[in-house]
Structure 1
Amino acid sequence: MINGDLRKMQADVDDDTNVSYKMRIGDHIVPLNEYLGKKISLSFSGAIHCINCGKTSKKSFSQGFCFPCFKKLAACDTCIMSPEKCHFHKGTCREPEWAEKHCMQGHYVYLANSSALKVGITRGDQLPTRWLDQGATQARPIFHVANRRLSGLVETVFKDVVADKTNWRNMLKGLDVDFNLYQEQERLIEQVYEGLDALQSEFGIEAIEDLSDKNQTYEFRYPVLEYPTKVVSINAEKTPLVEGTLMGIKGQYWILDTGVINIRKYTGYEALLNI
């Protein structure tokens, strides 16, 4: 039994595309794949600690922050969810030094298959973590751009022709159909080339690098013994004892025989892990 504050699971992939997970709880890191098919439980104490300042909070904001930190940190600003709204260039960023490190760096625009085709963005140092957190079975970078704001603007161009969200229920049912992501990339770019040309005219041709012929399609296999036919979500605040047989792990979800739980949602929550 291990007690501590939860963090999102650590996901890694080996050369054979197999994904492995580690549970981060307090100062402990627990490999999870070896416990597939075993009884497992999380008992939540009700305590929540901000992952930035460590203070006790009655409620978690933006997956792990107390309200004061949520209001002051750049990591919690609206432009994190909507990067096209980045206002660093206007001089109004909450934390310019943080933004220099996290936002004013090269980003990738990618296509992924996480139960259906979707477009997304991420920093280069977040690959393949970003794809694994979304439960993607396939992924392919299609553009490299100068900064986070520009990646959001490119993503917005694609939103009229492809989704930018994951249907997490379908993802957890294992309803993936393989795509030829290279062909999908060419098809989608043909539909939105006018919007891409407009962005290149505004920001410069070199600001948006086309990766059509430079990148491969990545594939991932998740540790799942059995997918649920009906997805029942477990709310740890209503059901503080979460227990069952661990049938699989995908994205940031445990798949139990009693339901599914998004571990990342409870970042900063104090819990007791029992395997």
Structure 2
Amino acid sequence: MLLGNLKKMSVSAPSGQVQYSLNLGDENVALNDLLGKKISLSLSGDIHCVHCGRQTKKSFNQGFCFPCFKKLAACDTCIMSPEKCHFHLGTCREPEWGEKYCMQDHYVYLANSSGLKVGITRGDQLPTRWIDQGATQARALFRVNNRRMSGLVETLFKTQVADKTNWRNMLKGSAAELDLEYEQERLIGLLYEGLDALQNEFGLQSITDLSDENETHQFTYPVLDYPTKVTSLNGDKTPDIEGVLMGIKGQYWMLDTGVINIRKYTGYQASFSF
């Protein structure tokens, strides 16, 4: 049995085959090897902030205590809505953090998880971001020079395509395969005037079109059987969770007893056995 504070699962995708590891304190377990086996996860009720380590009764923004949630730039509203980034106004909660994480190249991408969606991420988060969303296909559209610009481009694309994953549909199986190169050309054709307007305002180097140098990435997840009905397991109400591991996709475990979002319980003290 392993004991420690939960973190989101680590992922890798050699040749597109997704591999998962459970991170519990300083220990990690290769989860792909446990497919078809009975596993058990017990949450003790103790939650520790992933930033400062203090004990907290409730987790905010997937692992933070309330004081850190209120003061950290990583928890500001512009993280969820990057077009609202206010670094350029001099009002960033933590300018040094913003310089490191926001004022660097980001990517705007198309992905296919529960269907076509647009998203953004830092360059050092690829392909992790795609896998965490359960994408079976993904393709970068543009490289932009900061987080705010990625949000402005994403907002433009949201007029034509979703920016959210339907997690229930994602867990019911692989979405029908799409021609993401065709979708890229189609959407740019519809939105070129808005893209030109952004480049006129922020400079030609602010947005780099990756159409000619990009590829569509394909991912296969470790799943024995997808659920026909998605039943969510709530670790706060039912702290002792067990079942046969039928699959892993995104940051979800699919057990024969239901599904659980492991990332939701970041910072929770837990024990794990198999």
**TM-score band, normalised by shorter chain:** over 0.9
**Which residue of structure 1 lines up, in the alignment, with residue 44 of structure 2?**
45
The code of the aligned residue for 2:242 comes to: E
- Report Cα offsets for 1:100-128 as digits up to 9, x if no partner: 11000000000000020000000000000
Residues 1:31 and 2:30 aligned together: yes
How far apart in 2 are the matches of 1:228 and 1:191? Answer: 37
How far apart in 1 are the matches of 2:153 and 2:27? Answer: 39
How far apart in 1 are the matches of 2:62 and 2:158? Answer: 25
SS class of match (1:173) = coil
**Which residue of structure 1 lines up, in the alignment, with residue 264 of structure 2?**
265
The alpha-carbon deviation at position 193 of structure 1 amounts to 1.2
The code of the aligned residue for 2:11 comes to: A
Name the stretch that deviates more: 175-184 or 150-159.
175-184
How far apart in 2 are the matches of 1:206 and 1:214? Answer: 16
Q: CA RMSD in A?
A: 0.5
How far apart in 2 are the matches of 1:256 and 1:194? Answer: 47
Residues 1:248 and 2:247 aligned together: yes
Task: Trace 1:59-138 onto structure 2 (pairs within 5 A).
Answer: 59-138=58-137
The alpha-carbon deviation at position 194 of structure 1 amounts to 1.4
Residues 1:152 and 2:151 aligned together: yes
Aligned pairs, how many? 274
**Which residue of structure 1 lines up, in the alignment, with residue 9 of structure 2?**
9
How far apart in 2 are the matches of 1:76 and 1:21? Answer: 26
Identity of aligned residues (%): 71
- Report Cα offsets for 1:135-166 as digits up to 9, x if no partner: 00000001000000000000000001000000
| Counterpart contact for 2:6–2:24, Cα < 8 Å | yes
- Report Cα offsets for 1:192-224 as digits up to 9, x if no partner: 111111101100111100001111000000000
**Which residue of structure 1 lines up, in the alignment, with residue 164 of structure 2?**
165
How far apart in 1 are the matches of 2:211 and 2:14? Answer: 25
The code of the aligned residue for 1:64 comes to: G
The code of the aligned residue for 1:202 comes to: E
Residues 1:140 and 2:143 aligned together: no
Segments of structure 1 that go 5 or more residues without pairing to the other structure are none
| TM-score, normalising length: structure 2 | 0.99
How far apart in 1 are the matches of 2:92 and 2:14? Answer: 38
- Report Cα offsets for 1:214-237 as digits up to 9, x if no partner: 110000000000000100000100
| TM-score, normalising length: structure 1 | 0.99
The alpha-carbon deviation at position 175 of structure 1 amounts to 4.1
| Counterpart contact for 2:136–2:174, Cα < 8 Å | no
How far apart in 2 are the matches of 1:209 and 1:26? Answer: 40
Name the stretch that deviates more: 172-181 or 84-93.
172-181
How far apart in 2 are the matches of 1:151 and 1:69? Answer: 25
The code of the aligned residue for 1:41 comes to: S
Residues 1:239 and 2:238 aligned together: yes
